[in-house]
Structure 1
Amino acid sequence: MAPVFSHGDLRLYLLNLLDEEPRHGYDLMQALSDRTGGTYTPSAGTVYPRLAKLEEEGLVTKAVDGRKTVYRITDAGRAEVAARSGELEGIESHLADSVRLIADEVRGSVRAAMKSLRADLAAATQEERRTGGSAGAPAGASRYDDARVISREAAQRADAAVNGFRAQVRAELRGHVARGGELAASVVDELGRALDEVSRTISRDLRR
């Protein structure tokens, strides 16, 4: 995957975030993570040198507030943000593309995990029917125990896939709203329908 921020874009985007409101370093790092849908979480070693450079250029100032250092944009910084608004639109578009790409990858992973889960559950069910459950000879009981282990492992993989999907969608939606985007009711309705469809599919497969 291509870098989320091209050369020089992070500097401008930090300035843009400070144009919205004063922020401390951790707040800036969290904002970057939120607005990229979790695709990019910068380190302190990435953010603070750029803030120091912006301060040297007279584009931001800093002040200590308790245990935090708060950064504020200057008039010169606002002028640069206004002059480069076109570049910022391009950065926002690139971030949206990055988030969509990650979401597509997550959806693909969830589909693959569900396919694997269905296959494992089917195999475990067939094995249980073939051996007659836990009753009978010790060998049959052993095969039944193996089938239960397979089922537990499949359930764990499914749980991890669901949690990953939930975290990614949550980050994508929050990032979109944080950037000032509108969240149409139709998008939420479509998400609900998709989840209902997956739930029905799983329930149907489990009853087989």
Structure 2
Amino acid sequence: MPPVFSHGDLRLYLLNLLDEGPRHGYDLMQALSDRTGGTYTPSAGTIYPRLAKLEEEGLVTKSVDGRKTIYEITDAGRAEVAARAGDLEGIEAGLADSVRLIADGVRAGVREAMKSLRADLAAASTAPVSPPEEAPRADGDGRSDAREQVRRAEALIAEFRGDVRTDLRTHVAKGGELAASVIDDLAAALDDAARAVRRATKG
């Protein structure tokens, strides 16, 4: 994936964030992560030197509040933000594209997981039952094999549930957006899988 911010864009975007109100360094880092859908989480070593440069240029000032250093935009900084409004629109469009890419990735991940689950369920429903002489059954009526397949299905479902739940929660926790269509796709895929199970177990 190309860099989220091109050369000089991060400097301008920091000014834009400060134009919304005073912030401390960690708050700025969190805001950048949130607004890029988690695609860009800057380090302190990236943010603070740029803030120091902006202060040196007279575009921001800083003050100490307890253990926090608060940065605030100056009139000169506001003038630069206003003068470069067009550049900011381009940056915002790029950030929106990054968030869309994240959402597309989540959607693709859900589809792949459901495709794998459906394939496993289909394989389980069509697997030949071994004859008694090759795989003796303790109860003599095939229930041992059936119970084994049920355990396998339960393990697959539990693994899928855990993976998808973790992926979705992590994505949202990082500030990413989650389109309703992603969950619609998940619901449809789950319905398809459930129908496949019902067909395989009819009769």
**Band the TM-score falls in, shorter-chain normalisation:** 0.7 to 0.9
Question: Once the two structures are superposed, what CA deviation does each residue of 1:51-88 show, in whole Å capped at 9, x if it has no partner?
Answer: 11111111111111112111111111101100111000
* Percent of matched pairs sharing the same residue: 63
Question: Once the two structures are superposed, what CA deviation does each residue of 1:149-187 show, in whole Å capped at 9, x if it has no partner?
Answer: 57525631453134314543673339xxxxxxxxxxxx7
* TM-score normalised by structure 1 residue count: 0.77
2:177 match? 173
Distance 1:92 1:11 in 2: 14
Opposite residue 114 of structure 1, the aligned amino acid is: M
Matched residue SS, 2:129: helix
2:42 match? 42
Tell which has more relative contact order, 1 or 2 (C-alpha 8 A, sep 6+).
2
Q: Which consecutive unaligned segments of at least 5 residues does structure 1 have?
A: 175-186
* TM-score normalised by structure 2 residue count: 0.79
RMSD: 3.2
Q: Number of aligned residue pairs: give it.
A: 192
* Cα shift at 1:11: 0.8
Opposite residue 36 of structure 1, the aligned amino acid is: T
If each structure's helix is expressed as a fraction of its own residues, which one has the higher value? 1
Greater Rg by CA? 2
2:164 match? 161
Opposite residue 152 of structure 1, the aligned amino acid is: A
Q: For 1:1-208, what aligned pairs fall within 5 Å after superposition?
A: 1-127=1-127, 130=129, 136-137=137-138, 145=148, 148-149=151-152, 152-153=155-156, 155-168=158-171, 171-173=175-177, 193-208=184-199
Matched residue SS, 1:63: strand
Q: Which has the higher mean CA deviation after the structures are superposed, 144-153 or 196-205? A: 144-153
Matched residue SS, 2:42: coil
**Given the superposition, is the C-alpha separation of residues 19 and 44 from structure 1 closer, same or farther in structure 2, using an over 3 Å criterion?**
same
Matched residue SS, 2:40: coil
Distance 1:83 1:119 in 2: 57
Q: Which consecutive unaligned segments of at least 5 residues does structure 2 have?
A: none
**Given the superposition, is the C-alpha separation of residues 203 and 78 from structure 1 closer, same or farther in structure 2, using an over 3 Å criterion?**
same
**Given the superposition, is the C-alpha separation of residues 195 and 89 from structure 1 closer, same or farther in structure 2, using an over 3 Å criterion?**
same
Distance 2:28 2:84 in 1: 20
